[in-house]
Structure 1
Amino acid sequence: MRLTVPLALLSVLCGCGGGGTATPPPAPTTCPIPIAKANPTFAADLLPALQSSCGSAATSCHGGAAPTGHVSYSGTPSEVHARLVNVVPASAPPGGGWFLVKPGDPAHSWILEKVTQDQPGGSGYGTRMPQGAPNLCQPTVTTLSAWISAGALDN
């Protein structure tokens, strides 16, 4: 009798969740934007792409409050935008005019350097991102560059 009540309660609780199966999180990808976008927005296009290919969970390189990857993609779009735009990177060569994202200037945006160069900034400044994964696909890189060229708006 004691075992019957907990089992009945468990079956009721599991039955209330829409079948009892959880939707698995999407798999990480290095092609989160498979078709380049000419007018991307940060919140709808760029941040989800960065989170899916670079991480935002506390256990990822770019997640949590103290990320090992020097910048966190965790938080609201405005919080992440503030940590990226017009911010001097911790790991870029000095004197290069680098910013994580320099609005209107993809050539001095460290984020683009990091995802397009095997030795970003020259030897000694890390490796191409995402580390340990295939390179970002060209449509994703093109979309990121278009957003930066258009002023890297918090939209």
Structure 2
Amino acid sequence: LGTGAVSGKVTLNGVNATAVTINEAFAGSTGPGAITLAANAGTAGEWDVAAGALLTADQVTALLEGKLYVIATSAANPAGELRGQITPANVKVTFAALAGSQEVPPVTIAASGMAAATVDALANTVTVHVNATGVNDATAAEVDTAAAGATGPKLVALTKDNVNAGHWSTELAGVSAADVGNYTANKWYVNVVTPADPSGALRGQIDATAAPPPAAATLTQLKTTAFAVCASCHTGGGAALPSSMDLHPAQIYASIVGVASVEQPALKRVAPGDAANSYVVQKLEGAATITGARMPFGGPYLDQATIDQVKAWINAGAQNN
């Protein structure tokens, strides 16, 4: 670390990368490149750090803070298809999906978000970036202290971005060792407040024990995997299910995102940011609470890894991408 010398490689599977770089920014935000890797001519999917690559002193500091990440871009996703934060042993990154259903009491709102919390247990600092949609009128966002299902006092206030109204953040805010203990005990949550919901419109519990979420697939990718067979029954134009729902590739987004389920109208087919309460997920998993049959009708059913990709897409905001 004293010299800033960098070595190593990145191995990719399932992506035709056009570039791989090490960039500087905390989880939940983006930043400039620091190191550019080169494709290995002899090994497909391998990208290597060039000999003699160096980090500056400031970039070494960023590395120790958990502020460097690897990103792979592709022709399909030029802003980034795969990303991974580089974290030392004392730094942990936790993601939390934000939804109105997590508020106490629950709130019904057509909005969603994702929070990324970077906690340094050695320096006792916290960095949080929140990216939300549907709450551009939010008046405050903060990290509070309480377990799921309860409310508690403010720990850290977040600042609203001057350009992106859905982005709130704080970086390297000081907290106490006891506060870090509350984080470890899953007693932190992010709360976003709006004029219509002054006690909270979106909430996400920061679960320090949760595994990182799977990389969110795009809807374009899901059309060829999870949703590939849907249009064979859901043809559109019919008077009742399944043909009343049009799940052809060009219509699937309009047919499921933010649209109430016919079988269970209290649930959205896809509730952006809230996979657990999206009826499509419940139908794919064959939950005990569904009406009718598990989907795809008659099987074969999707494996859990593919369903998790659907969940990741929903929790990332269910974008039409």
Question: Is contact 1:118–1:127 with CA below 8 Å preserved after alignment?
Answer: no
TM value normalised by structure 2: 0.31
Matches within 5 A, 1:144-155: 144-155=310-321
SS in 1 for 2:225: helix
Question: Is contact 2:223–2:249 with CA below 8 Å preserved after alignment?
Answer: no
- How much has 1:83 moved relative to structure 2? 1.2
Question: Is contact 2:236–2:245 with CA below 8 Å preserved after alignment?
Answer: no
TM value normalised by structure 1: 0.61
- How much has 1:80 moved relative to structure 2? 1.8
Q: Distance in 1 between matches of 2:288 and 2:268?
A: 17
For 1:68, the equivalent position in structure 2 comes to 241
Larger Rg: 2
Matched, 1:85 2:257: yes
For 2:216, the equivalent position in structure 1 comes to 39
For 2:297, the equivalent position in structure 1 comes to 131
Question: Is contact 1:114–1:120 with CA below 8 Å preserved after alignment?
Answer: no
Q: Distance in 2 between matches of 1:104 and 1:132?
A: 29
For 2:135, the equivalent position in structure 1 comes to none
Kindly tell me the number of residue pairs found equivalent between the two proteins: 107
Give 1:85's aligned amino acid.
V
- How much has 1:146 moved relative to structure 2? 0.2
- How much has 1:100 moved relative to structure 2? 0.4
Percent identical among aligned pairs is 33
- How much has 1:118 moved relative to structure 2? 5.0
Q: For residues 28-77 of structure 1, what are the alpha-carbon distances to aligned partners after superposition, in whole Å with 9 as ceiling and x for unaligned?
A: xxxxxxxx96121112x1122244233x2xxx32124327324221151x
- How much has 1:131 moved relative to structure 2? 1.3
- CA RMSD, aligned part only? 2.2
Q: Distance in 1 between matches of 2:249 and 2:286?
A: 27
Higher strand content, 1 or 2:
2
Q: Distance in 1 between matches of 2:258 and 2:282?
A: 15
Give 2:253's aligned amino acid.
H
Higher helix content, 1 or 2:
1
CA distance 1:37–1:72, shift in 2 (3 Å)? farther
Q: Which has the higher contact order (CA 8 A, sep 6+)?
A: 1
SS in 2 for 1:48: coil
Question: Is contact 1:99–1:110 with CA below 8 Å preserved after alignment?
Answer: yes
For 1:10, the equivalent position in structure 2 comes to none
Structure 1: 5+ residue stretches without partners: 1-35
Give 1:46's aligned amino acid.
L
SS in 2 for 1:49: coil
Question: Is contact 1:38–1:146 with CA below 8 Å preserved after alignment?
Answer: yes
SS in 2 for 1:39: coil
Q: For residues 76-114 of structure 1, what are the alpha-carbon distances to aligned partners after superposition, in whole Å with 9 as ceiling and x for unaligned?
A: 1xx32011111001111x5xx410000000111000000
